[in-house]
Structure 1
Amino acid sequence: MTDVVALTRELIRIDSVGGGEAAVAEPLARRLEAAGFEVRAHDHAPGRTGLVARWGTGVPVTLTGHLDTVPLGGRPWTHEPHTAEVDGDRLYGRGSSDMKAGVAALVVAAERHVRGPNHRVALEIVLTAGEETGCEGAIDMVARGLVSRSRGLLVAEPTANRALLGHKGALWLKATAHGRTAHGSMPHLGDNAIYKLARAIGAVERFDPGVSPHPWLGAPTVNVGTVHGGINVNSVPDLAEATVDMRTVTGQDHTELRERLRERLDGETSLEVLTDLPSVWTDPDDPFVRVLVAAGARPPGERPAASYFTDASVLATACGDAPTVICGPGEPEQAHVTDEYCEIPRIEEAVEIYAGALAGLSAP
């Protein structure tokens, strides 16, 4: 068993569903310190530990991944989620694809780079907590000035080792309507919050994001994801809430977008921001993209953007708008599913891609 597979299995065996990233960060910090990195742990909440590890001088290349995983779901697992079972070429377990295999590959490739003969590229490894709940750890790291300007940002989210060039942004809003309660048999004495919210939902459905589709990211989208209102059938409800998921493309200003939507709601419904993450896009001809493809990453192809958002929404700007590539060994379709797995050859291949790209960037 190769070192990177053994490390991936070690990380999967640590349960970090919705928290507990400190236990995942501990063995990674030990390895990086042993390799010569200066490691700083960062907690944005108790037990929610991320790491920033630096090596070398000058403007670094930034490698990033997250340490948390999503809940297991209600279906029984055939392969226990935290035993890291190997079956043929597949490594099973929660986080195998999303994204402990990617984290392990980054760390092993970084160790190889700093111990090798051609290691002129400085590195910064940013391992975050709370990515799955809105990039909370990355946001706090950036707010505290822990992330450096960078030559390039590599995100090891699951892409089956394809080099993806960005993803849509996410603006999540909570719409709230207030009314006045009364008995359900006398609705004229109340003010029905659900009716107000229903009108707002209709306005959201008709809302025009106001921009043309991006040539690669596609069109922006708007979706109402949840609706809650009322407490019993025979009362006029005085509170109703809905959540709105807006996915944005390069060129959309989230503040302007939110205000335009607020105007459409005619003052009957308030809007609260839940998540505000900008889109990410890098030109396909950027040298950082080319060096990763030359090192073995699969070319972007006809669908060069990820369907999900990543910590790059937060980190790319902090890295000085560095060119950003999403490329990791996990299978995108395996993220968040029951019996999640990662193909072992992909994990080993990712190490070669990352190490090869760093060597290519070191070349004169």
Structure 2
Amino acid sequence: MNEAVKLTRELVRIDSVGGNEAAVATPLARRLEAAGFEVREHEYAPGRAGLVARWGSGLPVTLTGHLDTVPLGAQSWTREPHSAEVDGDRLYGRGTSDMKAGLAALVVAAEEHGRGQGRRVALELVLTVGEESGCEGAIDMAARGLVGPSRGLLVAEPTANRALLGHKGALWLKVTAHGRTAHGSMPHLGDNAIYKLARAISAAERFDHGVPKHPRLGAPTTNVGTAHGGINVNSVPDLAQATLDLRTVAGQDHAVLRDRLRKALGGETTLEVLTDLPALWTEQEDPFVQTLLSAGAHAPGDGPAASYFTDASILASACGGVPAVICGPGEPDQAHVTDEYCEIPRIEEAVDIYRAALARL
């Protein structure tokens, strides 16, 4: 069995749902240290550790993936989610596609690169915690200065080894309306916070981002995800809140967007930022993209952007505004699903792509 497939199975057997990333980081740190990498641990919280591993000198190429996985969900699995069961060409288990196969392929390709002959590009592996909950680990790593300048960023999220060129940004906001409580039979004595929130929600439905449609990422969007308020049926509510999910395109300034939205919603509510991840886009003509394509990555085709956001929202900037490509062996439609699997030949192919691309750089 291919070394990357073996490593994927080892990682899938470690339960890192919603945390416990240190249990995944520790064996990877040992492997990378044995391969000659200088490894630094990033302790985000107890039991939650990522790592930054550096090999070689000079400006590196940055390789990144996240160590956490999402919960299993309420639906029963037909395969034990942490057994890493192999059935034909498929490897089953939580995190097989999103994204322990990508982690394994990066690590094995990096090890092989370090053992190669001749002049070789320097590498920096950035393995993060808390990506699934809003890129928390990448944000903290960047704030601590643990990620440095590089030549390019490769993200091993699930793309079936297509070279995707970016994704929309995410600006998640909490909208809060305050009022004054009173008895429901005497609403004139109160100040109904739900009415205020309802007016803000209506304004959000009509909100115009004020930017043109991106030629490849499409138009920015706004969605009201949750709304709640009040304590019981016969009281005037003095607090009501909603959450907004704005997906943005390359070139949008989130600070300007927040100001625009605040004016559109009116003065009856306040806004609190929950998640702020800028959009990502690299042109296909960029030499970093072309290197990956020449190394065997599949062309982006008509859908060149990922439907999800990634740590590259934070890390591309932390690396100095470098070109970033998302390319990993996982199946995109298997992320977060019950009975998640990854095609084993994709894992083997990913190692070949990464190894060839690093040799060309």
In the superposition, the TM-score normalised over structure 1's length comes to 0.98
Whole-angstrom distance in 2 between the partners of 1:228 and 1:101: 39
| Counterpart-to-counterpart distance in 2, 1:38 and 1:296 | 29
**CA distance in structure 2 between the aligned counterparts of 1:53 and 1:79, rounded to whole angstroms:** 34
Share of identical aligned residues, percent?
80
Equivalents in 1 of 2:118, 2:237: separation in Å?
68
For 1:270 and 1:255, the matched residues in 2 are separated by 15
Which whole-Å CA distance do the structure 1 matches of 2:198 and 2:88 have between them? 52
Q: Residue 88 of structure 1 corresponds to which residue in structure 2?
A: 88
Supply the distance in 2 between the matched residues of 1:93 and 1:229 (Cα, whole angstroms).
39
**SS of structure 2 residue aligned to 1:39:** strand
Q: State the partner residue of 2:70.
A: 70
CA displacement at 1:180 relative to structure 2 = 1.0
Q: CA RMSD in A?
A: 0.8
Structure 2 residue 179 is the aligned partner of structure 1 residue 179: yes
* 5+ residue gaps, structure 2: none
Query: Which stretch has the larger CA shift, 25-34 or 177-186?
Result: 177-186
- Within the alignment, does 1:333 sit opposite 2:296 as a pair? no
Paired AA for residue 170 in structure 2: A
2:27: which partner in 1? 27
Measure how far apart 1:181 and its partner are. Answer: 1.1
Q: Quick one: distance in 2 between partners of 1:146 and 1:173? A: 28
Query: For residues 211 and 181 of structure 2, what CA distance do their matches in structure 1 show?
Result: 40
C-alpha displacement of 1:2 = 1.4
* Alpha-carbon distance in structure 1 between the residues aligned to 2:261 and 2:191: 23
1:286-305, Cα deviation, whole Å (9 max, x unpaired): 11111111111000111111
| Greater mean deviation of Cα atoms: 260-269 or 198-207 | 260-269
**What does residue 190 of structure 1 align with?**
190
Structure 1 CA distance, aligned partners of 2:263 and 2:47? 41
Deviation at 1:264, TM superposition (A): 1.4
The corresponding residue for 2:209 is 209
1:144 alignment counterpart: 144
Corresponding residue number in structure 2 for 1:114: 114
* Alignment correspondent of 2:347: 347
Aligned to 1:268: 268
**Runs of 4+, deviation exceeding 6 Å:** none
Q: What is the one-letter code of the residue matched to 2:322?
A: A
**1: CA distance between counterparts of 2:119 and 2:125?**
15
Question: Distance in 1 between the 2:183 and 2:344 partners?
Answer: 62
1:279: Cα distance to partner?
0.6
How many residues are aligned here? 361
Q: Secondary structure at the match of 1:223?
A: strand
State the match for 1:219 in structure 2. Answer: 219
Structure 2 SS opposite 1:131: coil
Contact 1:118–1:359 (Cα < 8 Å) also in 2: no
- Structure 1 counterpart of 2:229: 229
- Mapped partners of 2:287, 2:252: distance in 1: 26
The answer on whether the counterparts of 1:43 and 1:50 sit within 8 Å (CA) in structure 2 is yes
Matches within 5 A, 1:249-328: 249-328=249-328
1:163 matches 2:163: yes
1:102 CA drift (Å): 0.2
2:243 alignment partner in structure 1 = 243
Distance of aligned partners of 1:360 and 1:226 in 2 relative to their CA distance in 1, 3 Å threshold: same
Shift of 1:119: 4.9
Letter in 2 for 1:23: A
Query: What is the aligned partner in structure 2 of residue 16 from structure 1?
Result: 16
